[in-house]
Amino acid sequence: MSKRKIVHLPDDEGYRWWRIFDDTYVIHYGEALDIFLLLGGEKTLLIDTAYGRGDLPNIVDELRGGRELLVVNTHGHFDHTGGNRWFPRVHMHKNAFAYADHSFGPLDPAWLANMPYPDYEKIAVDDGDVFDLGGRRVDVIYTPAHCDSSLSFIDHGRRLLFSGDEFDAGQANLNVFSSVGAFLENCRRLKAREDEFDFIMPNHNGTPIAKSYLDDFITASQHVVDGRPDFVPLEGGHRRPFHGDRAVRVRVGDSCINYLPEE
């Protein structure tokens, strides 16, 4: 396959990538953003497209080894969807259709014009759907709290849970207080399936992480729902929460939940 022409920008950050199994890559962009490539017997699944900067399409083409490529977004935020226009078709939850192409700021016109699929096809996937990569099955679970289009994935080939931005080693970035209840329910659903995975693969702040994070996030969100949050100062997290100084942070064990108090 011929290499894609790339428009490089002054503020592009670098990629690094590595195998965590013979058939599983982490592709790391910049300081704290990871996306994933799962190789099956027949097909490859790319989980998220980062910002789409730099050599992403050529890296993916090299690593997939000629297999058919499927692309899916964990949710519709632009640090996960920015590279969608490199690909003819991208799977995502239907709620992401409306905003998956909304960047966080202005995009360089030459960079944007260089991407081959400005009107790429958006294909809806939802809870219970399955990607069959050929001897490697990946289940789709709808887990909206950080975002109303969030999907998690259980890869039965390597017993991995991909959690998107719903939670990571740094934090769970939630919005309004009521989203904490949804987050708790989602975590309980994942906990009920913990026999199906050995490690959790978030997109930010380090990956893989231990399954025990799920227990801590359940405890922390239960504290919030019960009205007894353990407030901690803002400093000390890996990333700033969505809402800056307005956020409440609740920390239990390894977990940290950020959310907006009710006005």
Stretch that binds Zn ion, among 48-56, 76-84, 90-98, 255-263 (CB under 5 A): 76-84
77 sits near Zn ion (criterion: CB under 5 A)? yes
Contact set for Zn ion, span 175-234 (CB under 5 A)? none
For the CB of residue 77, give the shortest distance to Zn ion in the complex, in Å.
Answer: 4
Stretch that binds Zn ion, among 154-162, 163-171, 188-196, 252-260 (CB under 5 A): 163-171
For the CB of residue 213, give the shortest distance to Zn ion in the complex, in Å.
Answer: 17
Number of residues that bind Zn ion (CB under 5 A): 2
Instruction: Identify which of residues 77 and 136 has a Cβ nearer to Zn ion in the complex.
Output: 77
For the CB of residue 39, give the shortest distance to Zn ion in the complex, in Å.
Answer: 25
For the CB of residue 66, give the shortest distance to Zn ion in the complex, in Å.
Answer: 32
Instruction: Identify which of residues 34 and 165 has a Cβ nearer to Zn ion in the complex.
Output: 165
Residue that has been written with the tokens 């890296």 in this structure: 59
Closest C-alpha among 141, 219, 206 to residue 180: 219
Cβ atoms of 103 and 82 closer than 8 Å: yes
93 sits near Zn ion (criterion: CB under 5 A)? no
One of 23, 34, 165, 216 touching Zn ion (CB under 5 A): 165
HSE-CB at 133 with a 13 A cutoff on CA atoms is 27
d(CA 39, CA 147): 27
For the CB of residue 146, give the shortest distance to Zn ion in the complex, in Å.
Answer: 6
Partner residues linked to 28 by β-bridges: 16, 34
d(CA 57, CA 117): 12
For the CB of residue 256, give the shortest distance to Zn ion in the complex, in Å.
Answer: 16
For the CB of residue 28, give the shortest distance to Zn ion in the complex, in Å.
Answer: 17
How remote is the C-alpha of 193 from its chain's centroid?
Answer: 19
Instruction: Identify which of residues 165 and 216 has a Cβ nearer to Zn ion in the complex.
Output: 165
Stretch that binds Zn ion, among 63-71, 73-81, 112-120, 252-260 (CB under 5 A): 73-81
122 sits near Zn ion (criterion: CB under 5 A)? no
Partner residues linked to 69 by β-bridges: 44
Question: How many C-beta atoms lie closer than 10 Å to residue 263's C-beta?
Answer: 6
Instruction: Identify which of residues 64 and 77 has a Cβ nearer to Zn ion in the complex.
Output: 77
Q: What is the arrangement of strands in the sheet containing 160-164, beginning at the earlier edge strand?
A: 130-132, 137-142, 151-155, 160-164, 199-202, 209-210
Q: What is the arrangement of strands in the sheet containing 255-260, beginning at the earlier edge strand?
A: 172-176, 255-260, 248-252
- Which residues sit at the interface with Zn ion, rule CB under 5 A? 77, 165
